[in-house]
Structure 1
Amino acid sequence: MSPRSTYGRYAGGPDPLAPPVDLADALDAIGEEVMAGYSPEQAMREYLQRGSDKQRGLDDLMRQVQEKRAEMLAKHNLNGTLEQIKQLLDEAVLDERKQLARDLDDDARFAEMRMENLPSSPAAAVSELSDYQWRSSDAREKFEQIKDLLGRELLDQRFAGMKQALENATDADRERVGEMLRDLNELLEKRSLGEDTDADFAEFMDKHGEFFPENPSNLDELLDAMAQRAAAAQRMLNSMTPEQREELMQLSQQAFGSPELMDQLSQLDANLQMLRPGEDWGGSEQFEGEQGLGLGDGTGALQDIADLDRLSEQLDQQRSGARLDDIDVDAINRMLGEEAAVDARTLQELERALRESGYLKRGSDGSLRLSPKAMRQLGKALLRDVAKQMSSRTGQRDLRRAGAAGERTGASREWQFGDTEPWDVTRTITNAVQRTVADGGDPRWLRLDIRDVEVTETEARTQAAVALLVDTSYSMIRADRWVPMKRTALALHQLISTRFRGDHLQLIGFGRHAEVMDIEELTALEGMHFKGTNLHHGLLLANRHFRKHPSAQPVLLIVTDGEPTAHLERDGNSFFDYPPHPMTIALTVRELEAAGRLGAQTTFFQLGDDPGLGRFLQDLARRVEGRVVTPDLDDLGSAVVGSYLGSRTRFGDEPDLGWSDWYGGRGFWSGS
């Protein structure tokens, strides 16, 4: 016979064929939140909570938990056992009356009167008939079923599955249950006195292990499982109406035809409450459905609801130090299904990967921050977006070609689709050797792989000193221009740091004061909730930057949504006035003209459609032969990057880029 193979679900840990988690999607979302003012820790939590178009988050799982909980309460009620007992009682009484009608003796007439005068309460009626001598065998059997059902339901409340296990049980089976309860209570009383031993537990399990299919390894595990079940049974009683509780308590004395069972169970409940007081013994729920639950099933439902509540707490992640690893994925699989469990496991892997991948780092104060690796990844994504926007306008080439016509920098990088730079042969061969050895191959026999290829990087022949001035005043936040401004700065920083490494970029934020910032500071900058647009101070810092690089071509890029309303005084303090003070305007113009004398190619990027601001910026631009660009917020990054590349084209360094065609204007900007 040919060998046959069977396949099933992989059960040896995480699925080895599962796709890797999408860190790029997570990092993009986290970066957006960080630029909006969140801390990286908050941003990561927000992403994991909210999810994205590609990944369901904790909120979706929480919604499923809440819907499942509401469905259980709306579908069920706790009257199942009482209704079943009432039905059996009615059938027994009816069968007995039929038999009495056929009997002609006087005792039969007295029995008929007794049947007619039974209490309306099923519990009282069952108690009344406990010593009745049944004439109908069918009636007697149904009445015995009531006592058997009560016993099995009461046991099922404390020991899941006992109702089915004891169906058609004999007196000997019931006696073994009673013996188990007596031994269990004795063991728990020993624990309460601190006198129990491992040998006591082992002896108990050897004798009664069949009643505990979960096979606890010690008494504490047994206590935990039983206390959770018993607490759910108590919550079920608490959830009943007073009338239902009274009925059930009276009926309990008839379980198995003897009050001994209820006495043992009451003693067990008392022992469990004393040993596990932290369980929820006092809670209750409001069941409003039509499908009745028996005592055992109702207790199971209350346990499920408790599990859902625990899942809600785990998914909420509000507890200090909470981690997604705290989430019980098995419970999610049991309660919500496999798809929800996969989502939960993926989120756990995402959190773990974000913390371990190097994208987030701990600062000196212990807080999480975006690492330089994360900033580069974000910059790449933003630069790709900018390239896509610009290419969609005029079919431009990819930004990777920036610098291709210049001198070699001495650096190399991994080959990417579309690259035309020459190979770095030394690095390529070295990569192939290292990969071959790592794979266990013979380095004397090399086969190049596309992953081995590195190309040489080039830079522009003429260096540029670039100053990007971004408005950080309160109006930028109020008009939702804060994040687009940061995205623009990050895209330009990525372009210059990776493709024009010979250029010198300085980022300057100007609000009430101006400040030179590195990209990490600007990206994490919180909103300034005070007024003031000190372009004068920003231009002072830009001109200082230009003078530090006298051989470089100055490029001045200014992003703003308002006229200058502040200037820097001689004592270093900021003077603010609105409407703009004439001195503020004069000092700003003077510093702008100083940039013009240094040869700066200047572009203003006007945010908003204020015509007064437009006229003012046009006047400033004319003084230095500059330009005014009025992009939409979504196009701001493309406008700034295009302006920078256009400036380089104008001083003759990038003849084959084609960016000047785009920058030359397509109804997209207005210039002087």
Structure 2
Amino acid sequence: MPDAGRRYRYGRWHGGDDPLAPPPDLRAALDELGREVMEGASPAGALRELLRRGLDGTTGLDELTTRLWQRRSRIQRRHRLDGTLQQVRELLDRAVRAERQELFPDPSDEARFREAQLDALPPGTAGAVRELADYDWRSRQAAEAYQQIQDLLGRELLDQRFEGIRQALRDTGKQQVAEVRRMLADLNELLAAHASGAADIDARFAEFMREHGRFFPENPRDVDELIDALAARSAAGQRMLNSMTPEQRAELAELSQQAFGDSGVGEQLDQLDSWLRALRPGEDWTSSARFRGKQPLGLGEGAQAMADLAELDALAEQLGQAYPGARLDDIDLEALERQLGADAGADVRRLAELERQLRGQNLLERAPDGSLRLTPKALRQLGQTALRQVVDQARARRGDRDSAFAGAAGEPTGSSRPWQFGDSEPWDVPRTIRNAVLRSAGGTGDGAVTIDVVDVEVAETEQRSRAAVALCVDTSWSMVQDGRWVPMKRTALAMHHLIRTRFRTDALELITFGRHASTVDIGALTELEGVWEQGTNLHHALLLAGRHLRRHPDAQPVVLVVTDGEPTAHLEPDGEAEFNYPPLPRTLAKTLAEVDAVARLGAAITVFMLGEDPRLAAFVDLVARRSGGRVLAPTPDGLGAAVVGDYLRSRRRRH
């Protein structure tokens, strides 16, 4: 019982990953990986595909990337970059209009001279602002509007380069402007000392932050972090300027000299940009973007928009995982949540956790050559899934719920095990009753004993005779082309799992045959890629099957052949394969001779014919008659049930 004095506190969930979210579904993830691998993808490629698509309840990397591009497009379609120029023009028009209204009632020559000055202003905004820098305004409203132009330019130029300047610069009085000018001068001096390799740069940086830290809410830890932040912002501002027309850039360059009046802030900012370009030449100072919207942005807002675009581009590259050594840990989750919200960060964390668990649970491993591969544990789980699907197909086909693979045809081993869903072995009644009694001993005391599903044990059975099984599967291109590749692999996985878990004394040999035949382990067959290769060399496959049977003379021989084409290749004595279509008489004769050799070892060959080729049907009928075997023609989806069912039928027949 919990400590009675312990107190628990509950509060509102304030966002982040859902603490009640279920853990990653490793079984579903492994099934997806297995399907991709069996279709020809490498394990590494299958993992990338899984992460791109995601799982139920978790958005994949592809969807997140699409959302990034949509956000990028919205920024460009919604905005334009001439907001500051537009505001300056509006303030200038207001100032000139107010001044004219003030001068109009005055009949003096001075008033007419001032009107002539206003009439002679250059048509361009920057030129007009420059001409009026020394103008003695009569109208108080006009003077205030012009002062707003100078303040606006100063704030926008600072906001273009310093992300937190708006919070630090509460007003634009003379004292505030003097503090900004002093900060810029000290900053340029600090950067010059850093560029020259000054030994006391850390002390200088600390002193600078004590004096001017309020202008830098990002709170850099050293001078390099400070330069990184400033260079990224300054480069974004430069990219914004690159995106403007030449006329707009020229106007802004001229207007920048009027920032805060004749304060010297513009010159200090130009010097700062020069230092940042020199210290961080790797930043993107040259690219541009096309903005085609109607909502105007100021210099600071435009710089932030360009920074957002750069961040979106970087995130898209990180989510793409296409560069060498890419990992989900490379993704900047803070940036992703800034752009797409907290749910996007949670999705990536779940995908990263899924990848870690696939490796941590020993389902993926590195091969000696550095490639990724499925572990034996993963192959066993895939085999279990494949066998379960085969059994389900067999049940659906028969219309009942009997399970032939469960070992009922075997003999009891004397041991038992807890019942699992799908088992059809007989109950071990004494052990089941004993389990129920022991479980009920601490019950109500009324002496009643009830049997629960957790009490049930089944008697293990086993076949007393061994079998040497050669499963020969066609890997010619037609198997890939006609959609039979994955069913063939699932069948092999199901057979492998069945024999390894239920009939452990049986010896299974997996043999693939295309132009040549070869023996493979289940991992190699699962990861085998379909390649364009002409030839169906059943002759070579039966040679290898016969070798396997001779290695196990005390075992019942079983040969199962899965193919969708008649033999078109045979093996020559020198080891070369001769191919011809239509098949040469020599190819058919050599193949049938090997059928006879296998039959002499006591094996009846069962052929699983895929497709409806009349020539193939005639040939496999001949094989069955000469070997005492039979021919089955399942659909691709029913292949696994047919192969496993025939193998179990042959085992029951031996008892």
User: Is the TM-score greater than 0.5?
Assistant: yes
Q: Secondary structure at the match of 1:104?
A: coil
Given the alignment, which residue of 228, 233, 236 partners 1:229? 233
Deviations 1:4-30 (A, max 9, x none): 85323367xx65533211222222222
Q: 1:386 to 1:273 in 2, by over 3 A?
A: same
Tell me what 1:90 maps to: 93
Aligned residues: 633
Alpha-carbon contact 1:411-1:456 (below 8 Å) kept? yes
Q: 1:494-542: CA deviations, max 9, x gaps?
A: 1121122232222111222322222122222333533222212222322
Structure 2: distance between partners of 1:266 and 1:458? 87
In the TM superposition, what is the alpha-carbon distance from 1:612 to its structure 2 partner? 2.1
Work out the CA distance in 2 between the residues paired with 1:230 and 1:453: 73
Q: For residues 103-114 of structure 1, what are the structure 2 equivalents within 5 Å?
A: 103-114=106-117
The equivalences for 1:434-445 within 5 A come to none
User: Is the partner of 1:533 in helix, strand or coil?
Assistant: coil
State the secondary structure of the residue aligned to 1:194.
coil
- Say if 1:150 and 1:570 are closer, same or farther in 2 by CA, change over 3 A: closer
Secondary structure of the structure 2 residue equivalent to 1:375: helix
Q: 1:506 is matched with which residue: 495, 505, 509? A: 509
1:477·1:527 contact (CA, 8 Å) conserved in 2?
A: yes
Gaps of 5+ in 2: 1-6, 436-450
Partner Cα distance (1:567, 1:220) in 2: 70
The residue type equivalent to 2:532 in the other structure is H
Query: Aligned Cα RMSD in Å?
Result: 3.0
Pick from 396, 415, 437 the counterpart of residue 392 of structure 1.
396
What's the counterpart of residue 65 of structure 1? Answer: 68
Match for 2:251 among 239, 247, 253? 247
Task: Give 1:9's match in structure 2, choosing from 5, 8, 14.
Answer: 14
TM-score under structure 1 length normalisation: 0.87
**Distance of 2:415 and 2:345 partners within structure 1:** 46
- Secondary structure of the residue aligned to 1:130 is helix
Encode CA deviations 1:434-465: one digit per residue, 9 max, x unaligned: xxxxxxxxxxxxxx998999866422344333
Is 1:404–1:457's contact at 8 Å kept on the other side of the alignment?
no
Q: Is the 8 A contact 1:400 1:419 kept in 2?
A: no
User: How has the CA–CA distance of structure 1 residues 3 and 19 changed in structure 2, closer, same or farther, with 3 Å as cutoff?
Assistant: closer
Q: Is the 8 A contact 2:404 2:648 kept in 1?
A: no
Q: 1:490 corresponds to which residue?
A: 493
Q: Which residue of 2 aligns with 1:634?
A: 637
Aligned to 2:440: none
Matched with 1:555 is 558
Please give the per-residue CA displacement for 1:209-242, whole angstroms capped at 9, x wherever unaligned: 1111121121111111111111111111111110
| Counterpart among 310, 327, 331 of residue 327 in structure 1 | 331
Q: Give 1:151's aligned residue.
A: 154
Residues 398, 275 of structure 1: alpha-carbon distance in 2 compared, 3 angstrom cutoff = farther
Quote how far apart the aligned CAs of 1:186 are: 1.0
The letter for the 2-side match of 1:20 is P
Does residue 128 in structure 1 map to residue 106 in structure 2?
no
Q: Would the aligned equivalents of 2:387 and 2:497 in 1 still touch at CA under 8 Å?
A: yes
Structure 1 residue 639, shift from structure 2 partner: 2.0
2:33 to 7, 30, 33: 30
Superposed, which structure 2 residues align to 1:570-581 within 5 Å? 570-581=573-584
1:417 and 2:438 are equivalent in the alignment: no
Q: 1:177 to 1:572 in 2, by over 3 A?
A: closer
- Aligned equivalents of 1:169 and 1:125: distance in 2? 23
Partner of 1:112: helix, strand, or coil? Answer: helix
Q: Secondary structure at the match of 1:319?
A: coil
Q: Which residue of 2 aligns with 1:210?
A: 214
How far apart, CA to CA, are the structure 1 residues paired with 2:134 and 2:368?
81
In 2 relative to 1, CA 649–408 (structure 1 residues): closer, same or farther, beyond 3 Å? closer
Structure 1, gaps ≥5 residues long: 431-447, 653-672
Distance of 2:528 and 2:517 partners within structure 1: 13
2:108 is matched by which residue type in structure 1? D
Q: CA distance change for structure 1 residues 367 and 168 in 2, over 3 Å: closer, same or farther?
A: closer
Amino acid paired to 2:294: E
Please give the secondary structure, in 2, of the residue aligned with 1:64.
helix
CA deviation vs aligned residue, 1:384-420 (integer Å, no higher than 9, x gap) = 2222222222344375961145235588766422435
Change (3 A) 1:142 1:528: closer
Aligned partner of residue 605 in structure 1, secondary structure = strand
Distance 1:458 1:603 in 2: 26
Q: Does 1:602 align with 2:611?
A: no
Q: Is the 8 A contact 2:24 2:354 kept in 1?
A: yes
Q: Which residue of 2 aligns with 1:306?
A: 310
User: Which stretch has the larger CA shift, 244-253 or 592-601?
Assistant: 592-601
CA change 1:322–1:412 in 2 (3 A) is farther
C-alpha distance in 2 between matches for 1:574 and 1:128: 92
Letter of the 1:608 partner, please give it. Answer: G
Partner residue, 1:589? 592
* 2:369 corresponds to 1:372: no
Distance 2:275 2:430 in 1: 78
The answer as to 2:293 corresponding to 1:292 is: no
Between stretches 453-462 and 152-161, larger displacement belongs to: 453-462
The separation in 2 between residues aligned to 1:291 and 1:245, in whole angstroms, is 19
Q: Deviations over 1:308-367 (max 9, x none)?
A: 111122122222211111111111111011222222112211222222221122222232
Residue deviations 1:56-101, cap 9 Å, x none? Answer: 3222222221121121111111011111111111122222222222
What is residue 655 of structure 1 aligned with on the other side? none
Higher mean alpha-carbon deviation, 273-282 vs 522-531, is at 522-531
Whichever residue aligns with residue 283 of structure 2, its letter is: E
Change (3 A) 1:3 1:23: closer
Does residue 1:345 correspond to 2:349, yes or no? yes
- Structure 1 residues 99 and 415, CA, compared in 2 at 3 Å: closer, same or farther? farther
Counterpart Cα distance in 2 of 1:637 and 1:171: 85
Cα distance, 1:623–1:271 mapped onto 2, change above 3 Å: same
Distance 1:167 1:101 in 2: 37
| 8 Å contact kept, 1:459–1:502 | no
8 Å contact kept, 1:163–1:296: no
SS of equivalent to 1:458? strand
For the residues of structure 2 that align with 1:346 and 1:587, how far apart are their CA atoms? 57
Alignment partners' CA distance in 1, 2:566 and 2:48: 38
The answer on whether the counterparts of 1:26 and 1:47 sit within 8 Å (CA) in structure 2 is yes
Superposed displacement of residue 305, structure 1: 0.9
Residue type matched to 1:231 in 2? A
Distance 1:554 1:290, change over 3 A: same
Q: Using the aligned pairs only, state the percent identity.
A: 57
